[in-house]
Amino acid sequence: MSGSSNIVAMKKIVQQLRFEANINRVKVSQAAAELQQFCIQNALQDPMLTGVSSSTNPFRTQKVCSFL
Amino acid sequence: MGEMEQMKKEAEALKTQIEAARKAAHDTDMASAASGVAPAPRVQLKTRRTLKGHLAKIYAMHWCTDNRLMVSASQDGKLLIWDSHTGNKVNAVPLKSSWVMTCAYAPSGNLVASGGLDNMCTVYNLKTPVIKTVKELDAHTGYLSCARFLSDTEILTSSGDTTCVLWDLETGKQKTVFLNHVGDCMCLSLSPDMNSFVSGACDSLAKLWDIRDGQCKQTFQGHTSDINAISFYPSGNAIITGSDDCTCKMYDIRADQEVISYQDAALNSGVTSLDLSASGRLIFAGYDDFNCNIWDSLKGEKVGVLSGHDNRVSCTGVPGDGMCVCTGSWDSFLKIWN
């Protein structure tokens, strides 16, 4: 295993770490508040939270028609 | 000091710097911050459809953007296209290789893709009089774990060869190769604005990538085993991952760190798949223990369970309108719940 390919690989690792170290980080409290706001604002448009009435449910159990 | 030694030292210093910056931003965690939020309702969903037709384990499923059709892939060597409203099979696509691990529906509804241990991503046109193979994307040197269409002309794949690739479907060639993981890539998820995507791998890391320039922008640590499932939060600012370490985690992109872990001492099965409800409040996570657990994404509490499969839940999907959740299993059935 050639030493120079190890050095090339290591250079890439260092380059990537430099890039990732330089980003700006937002405080978790602020990020959490915005995430909560998004959830709450969209809650009424979330059928899994509001429930689906059987009249509007495309997956409602299919009723069987029988001839009387 | 040799060049190698110097670089190792710099790498360690940078890692320490990143950890310190994350800690400085960690003034709370998601569960504490959500203590004032009303709990999610107890979620009790019923099976509305059981789709029978596959003859072997189902490995993947994906909804069409019309919220009605879906594609599923099984190691019986077939892709099946289902009309979820009627429960009928609309199409069957025989696969050259039965060792399929993923399938995808193009946003247009015109194309579907599949791939697996053949190391290839095969794209099919559903709209020609007879379903035709339009491309075989052949450059990965490992299995195809996941594929997602950006459009009818571009598709993203993740592979056991540790790379992700953006392909041009007109030429069949690789446009961009995303190199940085050191373990098999197992899953990927496109951001809502389609400018970036996240990948999860067997190196227990999740990575955020810029689709156009190929740059790995951020790396998320915390899992202690393979990440099998990943999804963007609908807001685009967070991601949810599921792992063989039996936990799901939320990472906030702007805070660059884990903000909550979804776990339970009684749960000791790996997470195979996951998807989110329309608002992001609920996480539907499929596990090796045959169940799909439902988590409150803000509070970290389990709020429901989908039990009904007789084998591992291998895939989970919520359609774009959020009207239901579909689970697919090694028991060869797909179930639709709401």
The residue with tokens 């039990």 is B307
Fold of B45-337: Methylamine Dehydrogenase; Chain H (2.130.10)
Residue B216 near chain A (CB below 8 Å) = yes
pLDDT band at A2 (very low <50, low <70, confident <90, very high): low
* Complex-level ipTM: 0.91
Residues of B in contact with A1 (CB under 8 A): none
A10 three-class SS:
helix
pLDDT digits (tens, 9 = 90+) for A16-66: 999 999 999 999 999 999 999 999 999 999 999 999 988 999 998 766 665
Residue A1 has pLDDT above 70, yes or no: no
Judged by CB atoms closer than 8 Å, whether chains meet at B10 and A20 is answered as no
Total residue count of chain A as it appears in this document: 68
Least Cα distance to A38 among B228, B234, B292, B318 occurs for B234
Position A65 scores a pLDDT of 63
Least Cα distance to B144 among B176, B178, B113, B175 occurs for B113
Least Cα distance to B123 among B95, B99, B142, B143 occurs for B95
Residues of A in contact with B237 (CB under 8 A): 31, 34-35, 38
pTM more than 0.80: yes
Residue B228 near chain A (CB below 8 Å) = no
Question: Any idea where the domains of chain A sit in the sequence?
Answer: 2-44
* Beta-carbon count within 10 A of A43 CB: 17
> Which of A31, A38, A59 is the closest to B49 by Cβ?
A59
Q: Count interface pairs A-B at CB distance under 8 A.
A: 169
Sign of the four-CA dihedral B187, B189, B194, B197: negative
Contact B226, B202 (CB under 8 A): yes
pLDDT band at A3 (very low <50, low <70, confident <90, very high): confident
Position B69 scores a pLDDT of 98
* Beta-carbon count within 10 A of B282 CB: 26
Q: How close, in Å, is residue B187 to chain A by CA atoms? A: 22
| Token code pair at residue B297 | 């994404």
Judged by CB atoms closer than 8 Å, whether chains meet at B322 and A48 is answered as yes
Judged by CB atoms closer than 8 Å, whether chains meet at A49 and B279 is answered as yes
Query: Least CA distance to B257: which residue of chain A?
Result: A28
Sheet holding B173-179, edge to edge: B144-149, B154-159, B163-168, B173-179
Q: Exposed, middle or buried: residue B317 (CB in 10 Å: 0-12, 13-18, 19+)?
A: buried
Q: Which residues contact A63 (CB under 8 A, 6 or more apart)?
A: none
Position A63 scores a pLDDT of 64
Residue B249 near chain A (CB below 8 Å) = no
Sign of the four-CA dihedral B249, B290, B296, B106: positive
Q: Which of B14, B274, B283 has the most A C-beta neighbours within 10 Å, making it the best mutation to test the interface with A?
A: B14
Residues of A in contact with B85 (CB under 8 A): 58-59
Distance of CA B287 to the CA centre of its chain: 14
| Token code pair at residue B57 | 């384990």
Residues of A in contact with B209 (CB under 8 A): none
Judged by CB atoms closer than 8 Å, whether chains meet at B33 and A33 is answered as yes
Query: Least CA distance to B31: which residue of chain A?
Result: A32
Residue A67 has pLDDT above 80, yes or no: no
Task: Tell me the CA distances in angstroms from B272 to B168, B286, B334, one per residue in order.
Answer: 29, 6, 15
Judged by CB atoms closer than 8 Å, whether chains meet at B278 and A48 is answered as yes
Residue A15 near chain B (CB below 8 Å) = no
Residues of B in contact with A36 (CB under 8 A): 33-34, 37, 298
Q: What is the rounded (10 degree) CA torsion for B159, B161, B163, B169?
A: -50
Q: What are phi and psi of B50, to 5 degrees?
A: -120, 115
* Beta-carbon count within 10 A of B169 CB: 22
Task: Tell me the CA distances in angstroms from B178 to A15, B150, B161, B216, one per residue in order.
Answer: 15, 16, 11, 8
| Token code pair at residue B134 | 């339009």
Q: Exposed, middle or buried: residue B229 (CB in 10 Å: 0-12, 13-18, 19+)?
A: buried
Ranges in chain B, pLDDT < 70: 1
* Beta-carbon count within 10 A of A28 CB: 25
Position A4 scores a pLDDT of 82
pLDDT digits (tens, 9 = 90+) for B133-163: 999 999 999 999 999 999 999 999 999 999 9
Phi-psi region of A3 (alpha: psi -120 to 50; beta: other; left: phi over 0): alpha
Judged by CB atoms closer than 8 Å, whether chains meet at A48 and B325 is answered as yes
- CATH 4.10.260 assigned to A2-44: yes
